[in-house]
Structure 1
Amino acid sequence: MAALALPALLLLGCAGDQSVLLPPQQASDGEIAPRVSTIQRASESEHQRLLAAFGGEYRAPRARALLDEVVQRLSKAGEGRIGTYEITILNSPAVNAFALPNGRLYVTRGLLALANDTSEIASVLAHEIGHVTAQHAVERAERELESALVSQVVSQVLNDPQQGAAVKAVSKLSLAKFSRQQELDADQISVRTIARAGYDPYGAGRFLAALGRNTAFRNSGQNQTADDKRLDMLSSHPQTPERIAAVTASARQIGAPGLGERDAGRWLAAIDGIAYGDESRDGVVRGRRYVNSALRIGFTAPEGFSLEAARDMVIGLSANGAQALRFDSVTLKPDQTLESYVAAGWIEGVETSAIEPLEIAGQPGVIAVGKGTDWIFRLAAVQAGNRVYRFILAAKGGADPERPMRALLSGFRVLSPEEAQAVRPVTVRIVTAAAGDTPATMAARMPEQERAQELFMVLNGIERGGALVPGQRYKIVAE
């Protein structure tokens, strides 16, 4: 996401299993962290573009105050020069954390919901600070420039495109290994730093384990498990088990489990009430249902689809990955009809035909067929005033997805003002377990969530078969 939205940003991304490192657009006049070279500086405009890509800044005063305190402790305990760091909570349900080389730190609200105590969140922030103090962005940028130069020389001087491609592939692999080593280095810095700051050094391993469980949970929602997915040899991050083993070994060198601050109660109190999942302004996903209170529309995806809402669109994927769904909206030009708009085609390289007018939820609409190289498309549009709501349902191979598209359109609805007002965002709520409570009884308090019991266990770091402790506080997500 960041690679597409921020093509000029020099960015280090960690916790969400991705790392984006791109050249900076321009230098900044002010410096927040220790003095850095020109290539490391991030301008205010880059900060603003990052906010725009990840939903803006999320206001959570209690969580922000605790994060500021953690960062201050870490900066004093860090390795190298002590800098001043500024943290921003990003309004995104994704689980991720980033650092700009000038000392700006970013965590998503999705990541905050996954952490279970102060030592876990401290390990994430210490990891990002470690990237900054170790100047990993500069090292990576220099290696990328060197790699590009070598490939260009081989291709042009030797006039051998095949050899040039081979050198380029080897260079890319070398860069990937270099980046994975940076991640392992930052993990080691994190363990040492949180221990010096008085936090439990085993928090790093616990959070990485939580990250692994969350990734497996999301993957299994598409009928995939972590074991089914092949290791991407060009991935910029080591596999999570490798990272867990490394940080756990480092923690054992510091001391036995039980030392340092964890303070789960304080952390849970700080995140009580933060938004979880999609925000209502983007529309909300409830299983296969999507409802947008601002636009006053809703629809239900075909059976077996999982949905994800973004600011300008909704995307969906079938369980077997053979079909994909996209929903968005555009504005018609004053002299344009719905039929002429659809006939013109809005997907590049896809020929539109068999345009059929029909009424959808009392509104004028059309459905059409589109054909690409490897996919068959069903396109549909619903007009409300000058706004057009667009559906694209794509099927790989020769199967025409007409039936699921018509089922999708039959579930399209225009909401009444009362229905729109009734849409409520889902939040993290902290509840106390009573005697007899189990993950199943807690999941029953999360009725709108897919695979609620699995989600409850992921959010609370509970292993399969684990029991709840009466009187202990746990996270649920509910309206």
Structure 2
Amino acid sequence: MGILGISDFSDNSIVIIGKKQSGALLVGMVGVLKTTFKYGVSALVLCLLAACSTNGKISLPANTPRTLGAFSDSSRDHARLVAAFGGEYNYPPAKRMLENIVQRLVRASDRPDRSYKVTILNSPIANAFALPSGHLYVTRGLLSVANNSSEIAAVLSHEMAHVTLNHAEARTELQARSSLVQRVNTEVLSDPAAGRMVKTRSKVSLASFSRSQEIEADEVGIKTLAAAGFDPYGAAGFLANLSRSVNSTAKSKTSPDMLATHPSTADRIRRALTEAKKFSSPRAQGTDRSTYLSAINGIAFGDDPSDGIVRGRRFVHARFGVTFDAPEGFSLENTSRAVLGASSNGTYKLLFDAVESRSGQSLEDVLRNTWNETIETDSITNITINGLPAATASSRSAEWNFRLAAVQIGDTVFRLIIAAPTNTGDIDRVFNQSLGTLRQINSDEARRISPLHIKIVTARAGDTPESLASMMIVTDRPLERFAALNGISTSTALQAGAEYKIIAD
């Protein structure tokens, strides 16, 4: 619950949403995003009720990497982009490794005259992208997904291909033409229906155009990968790891969006394997796993404490100075807009977020203004929770009951919401159980909160995926996450003396 992300909208606007020091929402770049809960049971509540997962904090397509062509190529926009993804992550061993790989790829590419600058972003989400200037961005989350130098080289060569093929400029030009035709129909010819039709058609055209760009970038990237002496099968290997990683952490599965800007992962893997076969047989050139794992040993994993972290049932946000525990049996997920939770049987849902409030506004008014008219006025109560001013209320829809609380810490107002089907009679107990744990943490507590890290361990004789997974500091599906982290199956026989990644303090 920190940086909310970058959304690439169909109208070519880009919105960056973050948190001010005061905790108020900051809306930058182009466009306006309204408060999450402004109008009744909003999209986020619908997501909550469906127990859906955002799979992280960046609202970009799951089949990353991608190119962000809507940014102008200036140092100011570079700074904004880096800030939107949590800032630059300084880890010299990984940075040197990436720079060396890029140098090899450039020398082997069709444009050895181009120069590139690599930035590691402090985001736990696996993502990579490029700007036309040659700025290459890789998140620390992506570094944890790759398992060898050839896989990370495949990501970088793919992004370099986007730059050399001028994909960003081509996409921006197509978007501009579509937008112009829509405006002519809507504003000049006074034909809104025709304008909407153009917009719909342009979305389909842009999606198809973007998918073709991804395929082209994969082909050029794999060619460069092989020419630079890396394993050309690294591209397929990384995409397979990415798919495993998403599946190991996703709490729900959704069908692919037909307008997604990337081909499906399965299709990209198939195409990548076909392309790699043109250059060598599988694993003929080696993967350089040990060098890669050494470079990322100790890299931070998961959420940055300044943006909130989940430890079992507990959520702690160091920068906002707040913590709470979910009720017994709940699991939590720290997403871009809020902390989402659900009971093990799916009956109860939880949401925790920070909301805007005007100076002097009462907590009762905060509840009213960030919910809707279905709030039960007689249910609003002013209370104190662990020394903090708070207000609670009830709301209901045709199928769901809600218990809401607004709690103020300094200049920030937080909401805790529990939802349950209307035929569930124990919602008050569940709500109060969690609300009673919400409290402010002091600066000493905040400083003691540390992120998790990737740790490289050497398997001993007799070690199994289960034994190494038991060493990980995770409570949610540790075996599946260990397997996904290392690009293996849960039944793979581990090799004594081989190195593997685990998640540790």
TM-score, with length taken from structure 1: 0.84
Using the TM superposition, give the Cα deviation of residue 159 of structure 1 relative to its aligned residue in structure 2, in angstroms: 5.1
Using the TM superposition, give the Cα deviation of residue 448 of structure 1 relative to its aligned residue in structure 2, in angstroms: 3.2
Residue equivalent to 1:2: 6
Using the TM superposition, give the Cα deviation of residue 23 of structure 1 relative to its aligned residue in structure 2, in angstroms: 3.8
Residue equivalent to 1:470: 496
* CA 240–397 in structure 1, closer or farther in 2 if over 3 Å, else same: farther
Residue equivalent to 2:302: 277
* Aligned residue runs from structure 1 range 226-245, under 5 A: 229-245=254-270
Residue 366 of structure 1 aligns to a residue whose secondary structure is strand
Using the TM superposition, give the Cα deviation of residue 52 of structure 1 relative to its aligned residue in structure 2, in angstroms: 1.3
Is residue 437 of structure 2 the alignment partner of residue 433 of structure 1?
A: no
Is residue 160 of structure 2 the alignment partner of residue 129 of structure 1?
A: yes
Deviations 1:261-314 (A, max 9, x none): 42110110110111100122223211331123455542122444432166xx64
Identity %: 40
Residue equivalent to 1:195: 226
Runs of 5+ in structure 2 lacking a partner? 8-14, 17-27, 32-59
The letter for the 2-side match of 1:203 is G
Using the TM superposition, give the Cα deviation of residue 419 of structure 1 relative to its aligned residue in structure 2, in angstroms: 5.4
Is residue 185 of structure 2 the alignment partner of residue 185 of structure 1?
A: no
* Aligned residue runs from structure 1 range 297-446, under 5 A: 297-302=322-327, 303-308=329-334, 314-318=338-342, 323=349, 325-328=351-354, 333=359, 338-339=363-364, 341-342=365-366, 345-347=369-371, 353=377, 354-370=379-395, 377-384=402-409, 388-393=413-418, 402-415=428-441, 420=446, 422-446=448-472
Residue equivalent to 2:101: 70
Residue equivalent to 2:24: none
Q: Distance in 2 between matches of 1:258 and 1:278?
A: 34
Using the TM superposition, give the Cα deviation of residue 368 of structure 1 relative to its aligned residue in structure 2, in angstroms: 1.7
The letter for the 1-side match of 2:80 is R
Residue-pair matches, total: 451
Residue 93 of structure 1 aligns to a residue whose secondary structure is coil
Residue equivalent to 1:83: 114
On the 8 A contact 1:363/1:383 being kept in 2, the answer is: yes
TM-score, with length taken from structure 2: 0.80
* CA 454–465 in structure 1, closer or farther in 2 if over 3 Å, else same: same
The letter for the 2-side match of 1:315 is V
Quick one: which of 259, 275, 293 aligns to 2:284?
259
The letter for the 2-side match of 1:84 is S
Cα RMSD after superposing both structures: 3.2
Q: Distance in 2 between matches of 1:396 and 1:51?
A: 41
* CA 243–336 in structure 1, closer or farther in 2 if over 3 Å, else same: closer
* CA 210–388 in structure 1, closer or farther in 2 if over 3 Å, else same: same
Q: Distance in 1 between matches of 2:223 and 2:30?
A: 33
Larger CA deviation: 404-413 vs 322-331: 322-331
* CA 287–472 in structure 1, closer or farther in 2 if over 3 Å, else same: same
On the 8 A contact 1:366/1:381 being kept in 2, the answer is: yes
Residue 259 of structure 1 aligns to a residue whose secondary structure is coil
Residue 300 of structure 2 aligns to a residue whose secondary structure is coil
Deviations 1:221-268 (A, max 9, x none): 23x3xxxx3231110000011111111111111111233342110110
* CA 209–163 in structure 1, closer or farther in 2 if over 3 Å, else same: same
* Aligned residue runs from structure 1 range 109-120, under 5 A: 109-120=140-151
Residue equivalent to 1:165: 196
* CA 146–345 in structure 1, closer or farther in 2 if over 3 Å, else same: closer
Residue 434 of structure 1 aligns to a residue whose secondary structure is coil
Q: Distance in 2 between matches of 1:67 and 1:443?
A: 28
Residue equivalent to 1:34: none
On the 8 A contact 1:439/1:457 being kept in 2, the answer is: yes
* CA 352–89 in structure 1, closer or farther in 2 if over 3 Å, else same: farther
Larger CA deviation: 372-381 vs 61-70: 372-381
Residue 2 of structure 1 aligns to a residue whose secondary structure is strand
